[in-house]
A = this chain, B = another copy of it.
Amino acid sequence: VVIGMSAIENAKLIGLDWGSTSLRAFLIGGDGLPLETRTGPHGASTLSGADAYVQVLNDIAGDWIAARPDLPLLACGMVGSKHGWKDVPYQNCPANADKLATGLQWVPGAAVKIVPGLLHITGEDTPELMRGEETQIVGALGLDPELAQGAVIVLPGTHSKWAQVAGGVVQDFATYMTGEMFAVLRGHSVLGKLLPETLPKVSSDDDQTDFLRGVVAARDFGDLGLTHQLFAVRSLGVTDKLSSVGLLNYLSGLLIGHELRSALVWRDKAGLTTAPIVLVGDVNLCQRYQLALQSYGQAVKSILPDASPVGLWQVAVKAGLVK
């Protein structure tokens, strides 16, 4: 690996977004933006024991550390969970970058600090949890300071997170197991038998029509139940009303449509009906959510694909790790 000389010279922080299934390392400059980004497959769920983490860290960023041993290292994500490198206790909502900074913990024997996740006891009297997304939310607030006045920040994914921001602080958040539900139904349920192997992109007009048909079914008839509506993926296939790819887009639309239906109720209960909505994460997936939100009459203010490095930077600043 050849490091850009100006990048390494200008770097102020090494950031790590270390999730369950993947790792991204950032060489971060003085504006909080990444000068260089590297990606690796060694998520926390694939690693066991401190030596394994040290090895993976050296593989992905050893040359950065050797060239600039003065740079602080800050990590977020499942690396800080009970089954990660070091169990870092959750912070409670309401929370912002300052609060995350107060909860940083050193990994014993390593020059790495880890950002805590967030825990919130909801109005339903059940706990909500996130690790990693709190840093992306702080990053979104760094990238668009107007959001501090009030926003709904949505991070679509395996476990989608919706966060309510007011007064620059995360007040509440909610998880939707949309991506995981899509994967297990496709891979392991009777619905999967009718579906194609590959993940569809909403690329053609037909794909968009089938996806939106699922979204609209959730929007207009969602009170009849997700587990009921999912059966239509089978019945529309058995009766030859939709192609295999069409069924997969329809399934995606149903699941995302149900997520939106529920999350918008939750948002409205919090009085954030007119707050801007921002999507954070993979652009293709965010565009799918944007399309679905349009069916609900909801505009998206922006899509932010890369909020982690800025979030790590914000927390590092508040913690005094960088100036």
User: Which residues on A are within 8 Å of B, measured CB to CB?
Assistant: 82, 119, 123-124, 126-129, 159, 174-178, 180-181, 184-185, 187-190, 217, 220-221, 223-232, 234-236, 238-239, 241, 255, 258-259, 261-263, 265-266
- Identify which of B184, B189, B217, B261 contacts A124 (C-beta below 8 A): B217
Closest-CB distance, A216 to chain B (whole angstroms): 10
**Closest residue on chain B to residue A250 by CB atoms:** B126
What residue in chain B is nearest A45 (Cβ atoms)? Answer: B190
Min C-beta distance of A230 to chain B, whole Å? 5
Contact A263 B225 (CB under 8 A): yes
Q: How far, in angstroms, from A192 to B221 measured CA to CA in the complex?
A: 30
A188 and B177 contact, CB distance less than 8 A: no
Contact A236/B176 with A227-B259, A262-B223, A266-B224 known, Cβ cut-off 8 Å: no
Once A180-B189, A235-B129, A238-B129 are accepted as A-B contacts, the answer to whether A265 and B174 lie under 8 Å apart by CB is: no
CB distance from A112 to the nearest CB of B (A): 23
Q: Are A176 and B228 in contact (CB under 8 A)?
A: yes
Residues of chain B lying within 8 A (CB to CB) of residue A184 = 184-185, 188-189
In the assembly, what is the distance between CA of A296 and CA of B55, in Å? 55
Q: Can you list 20 A-B contacts with CB-CB less than 8 angstroms, sorted by A residue number?
A: A82-B238, A124-B221, A124-B232, A126-B229, A126-B235, A127-B235, A127-B238, A129-B234, A174-B224, A177-B230, A177-B231, A180-B189, A181-B189, A184-B189, A224-B266, A225-B226, A226-B227, A226-B258, A227-B262, A228-B263
User: What residues of chain B lie closer than 8 Å to A228, measured between beta carbons?
Assistant: 174-177, 259, 262-263, 266
